[in-house]
């Protein structure tokens, strides 16, 4: 009889040990336990530590309450200014309501990942390329609000969203590089022109000071020679004053001749009047009165001395009596 009791006691102890092993659960510090009894949610969420459930009746689901870092796959999109880009991001979130994360959504991790991808494509289409490259803080805040709105109902809190990289086509990269180079060249030219303007003002002031003291220019010339000679060069460059060149140029020019003063009442000299044009050689000779008839064998009459200068200067051939002079055309 005693043996039977001992065997029964051992069986009870073993059954209790098996039941305890089947019902015992350990919840870690960063986890929370959601209990479902016969498929129905229990109101109490089990905290960290040792807890018991009814085997076969209750089911315990552990939910991680730590912050989850999830990379968002790169998404291809077209910006508002029609530029094709490829953007990837990273999202930080955590579960704040373990019961809602188990009941409201099947897999909250997958749901958050899909929502992040959709929101990222949407934010790409609403933004310009310059905003994606330089104004990321504003885009991160907008992306966080877009993901956090549906995630609140799942018991998930979006902690932070960051855009990691923006990939551009090679042609766009080259165009942006040329634009940046042109902008830097423009700024360099502006700075150089500003420096020239300031230097010209200072040089004009220095020239004004040196002009008052001629010895200052010689001292400046000696300082330049000393500065050049300090480099231990075999060739010494001496500046040549520009004023000396101008002096030599004026010395080579002939002195202007002084003209006598003219009387106010005297008439201008005859040499100042333009010369009269000489009569053209092709001019038609003046008509000559017909000579009296003469007998053959007599010499032709001589032209009078009152003929025109052109006719008197050129001798004419003898004319036969009874003929008329030929007109020149």
Average pLDDT over residues 303-320: 48
Q: What is the 3-state secondary structure (H, E, C) of the chain?
A: CHHHHHHHHHHHHHHHHHHHHHHEEEECCCEEEEEEECCEEEEEEECCEEEECCCCCEEEEEEECCCEEEEEEEEEEECCCCCEEEEEEEEEEEECCHHHHHHCCCCHHHHHHHHHHHHHHHHHHHCCHHHHHHCHHHHHHHHHHHHHHHHHHHCEEEEEEEEEEEECCHHHHHHHHHHHHHHHHHHHHHHHHHHHHHHHHHHHHHHHHHHHCHHHHHHHHHHHHHHHHCCCCCCCCCCCCHHHHHHHHHHHCCCCCCCCCCCCCCCCCHHHCCCCCCCCCCCCCCCCCCCCCCCCCCCCCCCCCCCCHHHHHCCCCCCCCCCCCCCCC
Report in angstroms the alpha-carbon separations of 142 from 126, 127, 148, 156, 193: 11, 11, 10, 18, 44
Residue 327 has pLDDT above 60, yes or no: no
Across the strands, what pairs with 60? 35
Q: Give the phi and the psi of residue 93 in degrees, each rounded to 5.
A: -150, 165
Lowest mean pLDDT among 9-13, 98-102, 173-177, 189-193: 9-13
| Cα three-residue angle 241-245-250, rounded to 5 degrees | 145
- pLDDT band, very low/low/confident/very high, at 236 (cuts 50, 70, 90): low
Determine contact, residues 131/139, Cβ cutoff 8 Å.
yes
Q: Quote the percentage of the chain above a pLDDT of 90.
A: 19
Q: Quote the percentage of the chain above a pLDDT of 70.
A: 74
Average pLDDT over residues 175-182: 90
**Distance (Å, whole) CA 36 – CA 43:** 9
176 against 230, higher pLDDT: 176
Buried b (16+ CB within 10 A) or exposed e, 93-105: bebebbbbbbeeb
Q: What confidence score (pLDDT) does residue 231 get? A: 67
**Distance (Å, whole) CA 327 – CA 240:** 76
Report in angstroms the alpha-carbon separations of 162 from 91, 100, 117, 159, 264: 6, 26, 13, 10, 99
Burial of 161 (0-12, 13-18, 19+ CB in 10 A): buried
**Of 56, 59, 55, 30, which Cα lies nearest the Cα of 42?**
59
- pLDDT band, very low/low/confident/very high, at 56 (cuts 50, 70, 90): confident
**Distance (Å, whole) CA 33 – CA 152:** 20
**Of 209, 206, 208, 217, which Cα lies nearest the Cα of 242?**
217
Burial of 89 (0-12, 13-18, 19+ CB in 10 A): buried
Q: What confidence score (pLDDT) does residue 186 get? A: 94
Give residue-wise pLDDT tens across range 211-227. Answer: 887 778 778 877 877 77
**Distance (Å, whole) CA 41 – CA 60:** 10
Give residue-wise pLDDT tens across range 283-311. Answer: 444 454 444 444 444 444 444 444 444 44
Q: What confidence score (pLDDT) does residue 291 get? A: 47
């Amino acid at each position: 009889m005693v043996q039977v009791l001992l065997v029964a006691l051992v069986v009870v102890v073993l059954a209790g040990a098996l039941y305890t092993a089947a019902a015992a659960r350990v919840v870690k510090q960063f986890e929370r336990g959601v209990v479902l009894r016969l498929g129905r949610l229990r109101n109490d969420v089990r905290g960290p530590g040792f807890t018991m459930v009814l085997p076969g009746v209750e089911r315990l689901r552990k939910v991680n309450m730590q912050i989850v870092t999830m990379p968002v796959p790169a998404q291809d999109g077209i910006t508002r200014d029609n530029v094709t880009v490829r953007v990837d991001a990273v999202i930080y979130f955590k579960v704040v309501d373990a019961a809602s994360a188990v009941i409201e959504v099947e897999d909250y991790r997958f749901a958050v990942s899909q929502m992040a991808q959709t929101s990222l494509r949407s934010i790409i289409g609403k933004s310009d390329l310059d905003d994606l490259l330089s104004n990321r803080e504003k885009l991160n805040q907008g992306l966080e609000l877009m993901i956090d709105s549906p995630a609140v109902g799942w018991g998930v809190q979006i902690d932070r969203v960051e855009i990691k990289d923006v990939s551009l086509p090679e042609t766009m990269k080259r165009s942006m590089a040329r634009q940046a180079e042109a902008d830097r060249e423009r700024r360099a030219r502006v700075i150089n022109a500003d420096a020239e303007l300031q230097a010209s003002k200072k040089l004009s002031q220095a020239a004004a000071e040196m002009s008052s003291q001629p010895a200052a220019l010689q001292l400046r010339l000696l300082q330049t020679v000393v500065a050049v000679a300090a480099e231990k060069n075999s060739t010494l460059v001496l500046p040549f004053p520009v004023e000396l060149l101008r002096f030599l140029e004026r010395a080579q020019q002939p002195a202007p001749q002084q003209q006598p003063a003219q009387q106010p009442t005297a008439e201008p000299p005859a040499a100042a009047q333009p010369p009269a044009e000489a009569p053209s050689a092709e001019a038609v000779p003046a008509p000559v009165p017909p000579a009296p008839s003469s007998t053959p064998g007599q010499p032709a009459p001589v032209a009078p001395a009152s003929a025109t200068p052109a006719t008197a200067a050129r001798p004419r051939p003898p004319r036969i009596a009874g003929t008329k002079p030929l007109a020149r055309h």
